[in-house]
Structure 1
């Protein structure tokens, strides 16, 4: 089976981590990279043995050998780059959040559907074996009826008023940058949207939030989420039922999960992977393209639209 040629949009840190893991994806070939500067593209290509290095993204989109594009730029650039890639006939795996508004997300979804091209938000956490094992335990009733979900994700980001994270004009703030993880992880285990929202946030001098707590409810499930640029949070997920609970340490990059009944550890799972874990989403994208599918059943277009709605609702309460 022929490998699919990946074109990488960005020579930054996240793109580097993704490319580091592509060697673990059997159906993937790292073919091209594009950056704003030719020197950056050349250096990235040399480090990761990429065949082609382009200055400017349109040149990559126009390369007929590129099958699928991975977009790893800051999220305020995602919409236009994904739009241009789809318009050029390329499948797209786009980092989260895929856009910065529901309207942008809907435009991309409609375009991808009209062209019959894969559009998938790069929510790698959904494809991690430990996350899937936790969901299986939940579905099997191992913790009884789900009552609480608690998820947080935060790392200290030094304040820089000109940096992307703190620049309002670049869609800065911890909600879009890190808060997508707690929201998405909660949604992975819930059956309905989160409502009755209560939000507390700290807004820094540039006008963006750098610490956020979200409390809400999904049917009968209480939801507690947090994200921060101020400090490292626990970064764990807890699924708490009336018979026990599941702990997922470092849930955003989960390698293990643990099943408890009251204070007793009943079962543990570890995937013992050698990779970071990004190749699982790459495998899914390749599988779908080879099947002629334009949408993932794991990270659906509706998931991406829901994330945008939730982010907007939280943002409105800050």
Structure 2
């Protein structure tokens, strides 16, 4: 029987609650919960049946019974908490964006390598069965070369500069919150990392990025366009244009259905794989397999690094720097 692992959830917000529900759906309980406020952490621990409630993330990292840490805290806390968890010998699955910038990620990745630990970003796109099937079929040349990718992601957020979406103290902005999904999806379908990136951006009054359009091109001359906004609702829609067909994916971060449109005949074929509601279960299973086997290739940290490099370059160009950040 395959070994299961003791997970601790660090954070008690919305996505932490979703991860707790994923464990419940798998017939399991996380081993422990640690949050910034005891009340929220206690409520989450009680809801998901966690065995341990920790007073701080550091107390959880010091527990020898903990195998894997799932970080679901604000972006600007990730790098420090990742480093502390790795130093304590824990494997880490961290919510997107995994760090603020490429310097932080490279430091953490190097530490994980030195320690022989798995560090990964909790990016659903890497693990959804539909995405995996499409990448395999594209790699086999079924629809010809990918030529152009179009990606949208837009949300309409209250124009409250104190909330996490617009607050620089909480590393707010569209790029790290929703743009990371679009760029990750683009990277997963491109043959190589883009080496040319141009953009236009609109900044919020706080100085964080509110809305942007990005054009990327790689050495193979494949291109991708990304539009994102925190002030305009847009469909989470991907269109992947190939030589012999184009692929439409709605709600691409957790998609279970894609439409293949034949370029010559217009005939539409639907492909379905996986279940949207099990997105975080797929992440847990992939992470545990990586820890179990020592092969973390499926966790796609290389793609996460590519995306983080792009986002770091963009924020430098936009002049979006967070308090205390070395960018």
The two structures have a TM-score, normalised by structure 2, of 0.91
* Helix, strand or coil at the partner of 2:299: coil
Identify the structure with bigger relative contact order (alpha carbons < 8 Å, sequence gap 6+): 1
Distance 1:292 1:144, change over 3 A: closer
Quick check: 1:210 aligned with 2:210? yes
* Counterpart mapping for 1:110-189 below 5 A: 110-189=110-189
Does the CA contact (< 8 Å) of 1:3 and 1:29 recur in 2? no
Specify the alignment match of 1:39 in structure 2. Answer: 39
Does the CA contact (< 8 Å) of 1:25 and 1:280 recur in 2? no
- Per-residue CA deviations over 1:106-151 (Å, capped at 9, x if unaligned) read 1111111111111111112111011112213322323222210111
* Helix, strand or coil at the partner of 2:96: coil
Q: CA deviation at 1:40?
A: 1.4
Does the CA contact (< 8 Å) of 1:105 and 1:304 recur in 2? no
Q: CA deviation at 1:272?
A: 5.6
Q: CA deviation at 1:298?
A: 2.7
Q: CA deviation at 1:153?
A: 1.4
Tell me the number of residue pairs that the alignment of Structure 1 and Structure 2 aligns.
315
Specify the alignment match of 2:20 in structure 1. Answer: 19
Does the CA contact (< 8 Å) of 1:98 and 1:105 recur in 2? yes
Specify the alignment match of 1:227 in structure 2. Answer: 228
Specify the alignment match of 1:83 in structure 2. Answer: 83
- Per-residue CA deviations over 1:259-312 (Å, capped at 9, x if unaligned) read 11036344212236373411111101111111134xx21333322322221001
**Two-structure CA RMSD over aligned residues (Å):** 1.7
* Helix, strand or coil at the partner of 2:315: helix
In structure 2, the gaps of 5 or more residues are 319-327
Q: CA deviation at 1:24?
A: 4.5
Distance 1:268 1:200 in 2: 35
Specify the alignment match of 1:61 in structure 2. Answer: 61
- Per-residue CA deviations over 1:84-126 (Å, capped at 9, x if unaligned) read 1111111100111111121111111111111111111111211
Distance 2:145 2:58 in 1: 50
Distance 2:147 2:301 in 1: 27
Does the CA contact (< 8 Å) of 2:199 and 2:212 recur in 1? yes
Specify the alignment match of 1:249 in structure 2. Answer: 250
* Helix, strand or coil at the partner of 1:2: coil
Distance 1:82 1:174 in 2: 23
Distance 1:23 1:69 in 2: 17
Specify the alignment match of 2:321 in structure 1. Answer: none
Distance 1:317 1:14 in 2: 30
Distance 1:217 1:43, change over 3 A: same
Does the CA contact (< 8 Å) of 1:149 and 1:223 recur in 2? yes
Specify the alignment match of 2:314 in structure 1. Answer: 314
The two structures have a TM-score, normalised by structure 1, of 0.94
Q: CA deviation at 1:44?
A: 0.7
Quick check: 1:201 aligned with 2:191? no
Distance 1:136 1:267, change over 3 A: farther
Name the stretch that deviates more: 5-14 or 16-25: 16-25
Distance 2:13 2:110 in 1: 29
